[in-house]
Chains A and B, each alone.
Chain A
Amino acid sequence: MTHKILAVDDSRTIRAMLKTVLVNAGFRVDLAEDGIDGLEKLDAAAPDLVITDINMPRLDGFGFIEGARARSRHAAVPILVLTTESGPDLKQRARDAGATGWIVKPFDEAKLISVINRLVI
């Protein structure tokens, strides 16, 4: 069974890139446009892993992660933060929100896939 990944990003380009990269790597991919959209799609998508941007309209990545963790069904799903921000502050804030790991844009395909493979069962 191939793993499903929900990718949440407000940029169409990043969504398309993620979709291509992930599908090529053999994953099934669902896309969401922002935090609210992401939370709405969580149940239907039932992803094995979530990738989320931080800066998004309506609901940002931190809010999305907190919302996801609050739903018992998704409390343990690995969530990767994908963002252009870096620095120790991001790491701490992401972790406080409940993120599993973080990747800094522009992302390296190989690194992304190897991190994902490490986190999905």
Chain B
Amino acid sequence: MNDLRDLFFQECDDLVESLTSGLGDLESGAHDAETINAMFRAVHSIKGGAGAFGLDRLIAFAHAFENVLDDIRSDKLQVNETNLPLLFTAGDHLSDLVEAARGECEIENDMGASILSDLKLLSQSVGGGALMDDAPEPEFEPLALDMGFDLPDLGTPQAAASGYAITFAASAELYATGHDPALLFRALGALGEVHASADVDAVPELGDSDWRTPVLRWTLTLTPDDGIDEAALREVFEFVDGLCTLEITAPSAPPDLPDLLPLADPPDTPAPAAADAPVKPSPPPSDPPAAARPSKSDSARTATIRVDLQRVDRLINLVGELVISEAMLRQSMSELPHSASSKTVEEAMGQLKQLSGVIQESVMAIRAQPVRSLFQRMSRTVRETAREAGKQARLVTLGDATEVDKTVTERLVEPLTHMIRNAVDHGLETPEARRAAGKDERGTVTLEAAHRSGRVVITLRDDGAGIDRRKVRQVAEQKGLVRPEDDLTEADIDNLLFRPGFSTASEVSNLSGRGVGMDVVRSEIQALGGRVTLQSMPGQGTQVTISLPLTLAVLEGMVVSVAGESLVVPTLALRETLQPGQARIDAFCDDDRVLTLGHELIPIVDLGLALGYRATPADLDSLSLLLIEGDSGRRTALAVDAIVDQREVVIKGLEQNYRPIPGIAAATILGDGKIALIVDTDQMISRPGDGPSPAALLPDPTRIAHHA
């Protein structure tokens, strides 16, 4: 939770800065509509964050300030020499309030009171403030973060009145049949909030113990989530019935009695109500001097400096060049005749290579940020979508310390928001339907990030109804995306959701159907060098997996030659390589030829032909084949003249320097200084319904429409 706070205050620093710079522009007259917009957003964001932490004074002040800025934004209020000073004062006071909240100090009440009332007067004078009611908007309900279930929590036995009281002791046979009390408790944790404490009194001295007889007893309390009854609780113990002593006592009173607790508890134990709010109790207002800068904040602040992003990017670019120069140098060295000094030079080269690798990694790490803030934004999306869609949902986040390139996190916001809306709106069932299916009325959406083999994998799971494949297929056929006779696997059908022009929602839903389909999600992820896959289990839910490169700057690729040109095929998509003569190639209809691999027929794309390097097909028997696999699991063999080698290449975008080329993802500079194009493998893979023709580069929907 403290991480969250740090993050919020770090963000506040940025927001206050952008507010201040906007005020400066207002004063110098160098402002435009975007200046005011940026200022409004800054104050609005501070208000939003403050809402999550229950910082009431900050909320109230930011709210009034925001109203004034909104009036300016909508031209109801003109900035002039009379009101500009008030705006500056308000900006300063906002900054003070942030600092006070950071240091958990109070500042004297009437300090801000006059500014606050002046702000209110200002917006009332132009009939403003009507846009936003004085009461904070409902969207700022505090974040309720589900922190999951930690075992063992021995510290806080809870009042039994708030939930089921469970006593549990295992027999030796329970352990002998592969059970583990910790797993039972974990299963309880899925039903609600669990507190467990172990009674260790019966544990004998070391040495004189009969280790065959279990002696631990546990006392647990379970505060069940909505819709969890005793039967669900007993089901957890289904298999250990008779293998343990188990007593379950139902709640003796309704679980909403936290008001009484502070009276009974010593003051150092936080009452449940206070535990919900992530703010530590403030010291009495009289304690610190009113306007004193909180000294605590300076030490608590993480030692960071803020650097212009452009400078970092320039550094990253230069390091990329360094890596290329190093590769060029190494290549030239290898072409020189051996001499007596070769060995020392080689050693030095090795060191240089290692160093440039480390420098590259370190520079990339500058841009790396934990996905935490991204994930936290999503919890709000879940709440709002659930409310609008009449669903009950909670978000569980895992691995939010995983670090990802800043650009990647930024560009993930939109696709992820859309996916979450989809998961809640389309994935989760209504509470009634869930109850009927024997599920918890409240659906769970799980967002997880992890590093896996040099990539970042983000998974979004819901425990909803899963994809209705029959309906998906039906819709796809109606829309002409596939033909009735096409033989589609379940994965193929699931992946139809990613096709442009597909939308199952019978009427466009207000929430997820904002004109953005899953195809846009996919193309955005692909633009980041990532891939999306989708798995669904009927009745169990749907899982969308996004796999992304750690950085957008380097890529592992196979260098191949085609018609005298060097091309790079990303190894990510590569499954297998076949030398000339290794492959079994059969003729298919017309001129098409397919690779026969086991029982599978795989279309062959002559890369030279597909990219226009040659006009006539080459003799496939003399070519090497690269077997590539797309997101849908469909495979294609790329025919190339020769495979040169495998290496890391620095990606140089084509779009900003030239223009997008179909079939080409980007370019790079090879060790010998030559430019090589990076093949967009996904565009090379034919889709169900395409037939085995290699010309997959044509825009998809039109092509399919002809068939239908």
> Which positions in A face B, CB cutoff 8 Å?
24-25, 69, 75-79, 95, 98-102, 109-110, 113, 118-121
Contacts and interface: CB of A to CB of B under 8 A. Distances in A.
Contacts of B179: 78, 100, 119
Interface stretch (B193-201, B305-313, B535-543): B535-543
Interface in B537-588: 537, 539-540
Cβ-closest 5 pairs across A and B = A101-B239, A100-B178, A78-B178, A118-B187, A100-B177
Contacts of B184: 118
Contacts of B187: 118
Given A118-B187, A121-B183, A100 B175 contact: no
10 contacts: A24-B537, A69-B176, A75-B176, A76-B180, A79-B177, A95-B177, A98-B178, A113-B537, A118-B183, A119-B178
B461 to A, nearest CB: 10
Given A78-B179, A98-B178, A109 B238 contact: no
A100 B239 contact: yes
A99 B177 contact: yes
The range of chain B's interface size is 20 to 34
Interface of B: 173, 175-180, 182-184, 186-187, 236, 238-239, 242-243, 535, 537, 539-540
Contact of B535 (A24, A75, A102, A109): A24
A76 B182 CA distance: 14
Contacts of A76: 175, 178, 180
Contacts of A109: 537, 539-540
A64 to B, nearest CB: 13
B180 A121 contact: yes
Contacts of B242: 95
A77 B183 CA distance: 13
Q: Which interface residue of A25, A102, A110 has the most chain B CB atoms within 10 A?
A: A110
B184 to A, nearest CB: 8
A25 B538 CA distance: 11
B540 A79 contact: no
A110 B538 CA distance: 9
B177 A110 contact: no
A109 B175 CA distance: 26
Contacts of A118: 183-184, 186-187, 236
Contacts of B186: 118
B484 to A, nearest CB: 25
A114 to B, nearest CB: 9
A95 B171 CA distance: 13
B202 to A, nearest CB: 22
A64 B175 CA distance: 18
A110 B437 CA distance: 11
B438 to A, nearest CB: 8
Contacts of B178: 76-79, 98-100, 119
B648 to A, nearest CB: 27
Given A25-B537, A109-B537, A113-B540, A98 B183 contact: no
A69 B178 CA distance: 9
Contacts of A77: 178
A41 to B, nearest CB: 18
Nearest to A21: B537
Given A101-B238, A119-B183, A120-B183, 15 more contacts: A24-B535, A25-B537, A69-B176, A76-B175, A79-B178, A95-B177, A95-B242, A98-B177, A100-B177, A110-B540, A118-B184, A118-B186, A118-B187, A119-B178, A121-B183
Contact of B176 (A24, A98, A120): A98
Nearest to B176: A98
Nearest to A49: B178
Nearest to B184: A118
B493 to A, nearest CB: 14
A121 B183 CA distance: 7
Contacts of A121: 180, 182-183
